Amino acid sequence: MIQITILFVDDEQSVLNSLERSLIKEPYKKKFALNGQDALDLMSKEPVHVVVSDMKMPGMDGLSLLKQVKKQFPETIRLVLSGFSEVDLIIPAINAGEIYRYISKPIEPFKFKATIKSAIDMYLLKLDRKQLVEKLKVKNKDLLSALTKKEQAEKALEKARLSARKFDSHIEERLLRGNIPRYIKGADIAALNLSAENLAGDFYEIIDFTPDRFDLIIGDVMGKGTHAALIGAGTKQHFLRVLSQGGNPSLSELVQTVHNQITQSLMELESFVTIFCARFDLKHQKLDFVDCGHLPLLHYQALEGICIFHKGINTPLGFIKEEKIVENSVSLCPGDIIVLYSDGITEAKSPEGIMFESERLERFIERHHTLEPVRIIKKLEEQIKQFINPKKLQAPKLQDDCTCIIVKLASR
């Protein structure tokens, strides 16, 4: 049985002493470092299986350290200790796989120990998987002579993949994607759905209350696969269920109710969901929105001829149990364009590894603002495919689902 080593990094010796005392009965080996460089030096000399780093440290901060650990020691599980104020910095690191888990301050001893145990279990699972892969490599050498059977297996596997992808598309179409309302007075709406090979957690829904008033909800679940898709579908259904109960809730009341209903379950599932909810009142030229850790809303202002971004302050659903949902408002004008999108668009990569990013999307909307939404969406699809596969040597390969909804107000 492997002897697990945990490295704790904090610039305050008193904190490290406190951790050492509180974890004295834990069965793993404990190491301590006062800064990022000392931690890296220690890891270069002996195996470390889990690193727990404070966020705020002089010199090399926690995120910088853990990025270096990922690069130099990719098998090591990485955790960060932080307060609420660094949440916006930590979410992208979690999504990028640089951090396994975020531990909030002040530390709760029971939860802290449980999180450390979870990190150890994750390391052992990865180790078992790696050992299994090595065993499979050895066995594959004995299978090279069975070419006929191998070809048959590959054909069956390809058939299974096609069947699985068809099933994934069915899930996306029926459970995750919404329908565009046919009768909206004063605006046109179009949506882009580019599916990656793996089922993802993007979802959206458009709920029309009257011909000139509707809600637009877009969300993204941490992770990919059927697990993320089912969480996305469940979250979407919670919004629809609350709205179906009547009472005409405000946007903040709607999101607060869903937050209260699902946050505990999301925490138990070790997942979270970013959400952006926009309520359009075309009669009064007004947009209310709630942003829970999602990408900012892109707003093309027809009068000024420029794009601006609107960002809320709430964290993703499932991130913090006790949170007050904050609603924001934006004035609209004839000809304005509102764009909601997932990170599959902004994080689409060129062959050189350059990301599409929000600034490129901003310039694209400014350049094509005179077109109708359906034509803007078509050109956006073409540009994304051209961006990731400029030489068109093979079919464009997306790393994540690309979702984008464009609402354009009618010009007077």
The pLDDT tens digits for 119-138 are: 899 888 888 888 877 787 77
In DSSP terms, 8 is beta-bridged to 32, 52
For 357-380, what is each residue's pLDDT tens digit? 999 999 999 999 999 999 999 999
Instruction: Compute the distance between CA of residue 376 and CA of residue 192 in angstroms, rounded to an integer.
Output: 10
DSSP 80: E
Provide, rounded to the nearest whole percent, the portion of the chain with pLDDT above 90: 49
Structure tokens at 278: 């926009």
Q: State which amino acid sits at residue 132.
A: L
Torsion angle, alpha carbons of 91, 275, 201, 79, to 10: 20
pLDDT at 164: 47
Structure tokens at 310: 């609107």
- Compute how many other C-beta atoms are within 10 angstroms of the C-beta atom of residue 93: 19
Peptide bond into 106 cis (omega under 30): yes
Instruction: Compute the distance between CA of residue 276 and CA of residue 331 in angstroms, rounded to an integer.
Output: 17
For 254-268, what is each residue's pLDDT tens digit? 999 999 999 999 999
How, if at all, do strands 200-210 and 50-54 pair?
A: unpaired
pLDDT at 337: 97
Domains of the chain: 5-127 (3.40.50.2300), 167-409 (3.60.40.10)
Structure tokens at 282: 């075309």
Considering only CA atoms, which of 175, 279, 277 is closest in space to residue 232?
A: 175
- Helices and strands, counts by H and E, the chain: 11, 15
How, if at all, do strands 297-301 and 306-310 pair?
A: antiparallel
For 147-175, what is each residue's pLDDT tens digit? 566 666 566 665 655 554 554 445 445 55
DSSP 162-197: HHHHHHHHHHIIIII--PPPS--TTEEEEEEEE--S
Structure tokens at 398: 């997306």
Task: Please say whether the beta carbons of 199 and 226 come within 8 A.
Answer: yes
Structure tokens at 232: 């996305």
Of 345 and 141, which is predicted with more confidence?
A: 345
Q: At residue 300, does pLDDT exceed 90?
A: yes
Q: What is the Cα Rg of the chain in Å?
A: 24
